[in-house]
Amino acid sequence: MSFMEKLKEKIRSEGRVIGTGILKVDSFLNQQIDPQFTLEMGRELASRFTGEKITKVLTVEASGIAVATAAGLALGVPVVFAKKGRASTQDAGAYSARVYSFTRREAVDIFVSGRFLGPEDAVLIVDDFLAHGEALRGLVEIVRQAGSRLAGAGIVIEKVFQGGREKLKGQGLRIESLAAIKHMTDGHIEFL
């Protein structure tokens, strides 16, 4: 079985669909982490971007950190994670963006210190989910502020029906996802 098939199988057997939009995969991604499987996810995401001369992997706390670290390990580059929070606790000169969380129904500011991204960097964004595209849009904004080259985005699970990819279409952003869900209901997950 290919790694992608293994991932889909895991999502089918361990994922729980809540309502129409939420997929809980907390048994291996969002609360419990399978370290060996995470390494494989990171390796697979990294392999999609070989030749891009990536210098940094960028993600946002918290669920993206493990898989981003695995991708950084595979690429041999540092990982930077954006922090969520209030401006007051951040460095002056930080890059920031406001993103809306549909799950939490609130806007949150995300920050990256100006010391960790710059015009010399080629950045791969990595995240666990692509849903409405809010987190990804915010991370893209931060890469633009830093003046870095954006190599693309590597996503573990894309919920295609929530339109994140569509929303970011105008940005010329290459998005690679390991598992793309076309449709889901309780008990049935249909991949693209």
Is 61 a binding residue for a copy of itself by CB under 8 A? The answer is: yes
Residue from the set 69, 148, 162, 177 that interacts with a copy of itself by CB under 8 A: 69
Closer residue to a copy of itself (CB): 47 or 171: 47
Residue from the set 17, 33, 108, 168 that interacts with a copy of itself by CB under 8 A: 33
Is 113 a binding residue for a copy of itself by CB under 8 A? The answer is: yes
Cβ atoms 18, 189 nearer than 8 A: no
Q: Any idea how long the chain is? A: 192
Cβ atoms 149, 121 nearer than 8 A: yes
| Distance between CA atoms of residues 77 and 82, nearest Å | 16
Q: How far is the CB of 22 from a copy of itself (least distance, A)?
A: 11
| Distance between CA atoms of residues 74 and 108, nearest Å | 30
| Partners of 159 in the β-ladder | 181
Instruction: Tell me the number of residues near a copy of itself by CB under 8 A.
Output: 34
Rg (alpha carbons) of the chain, rounded to whole number = 16
Q: Which residues bind a copy of itself (CB under 8 A)?
A: 26-28, 31-36, 38-39, 61-62, 65-66, 68-70, 72-73, 76-81, 83, 89, 103-104, 112-113, 115-116
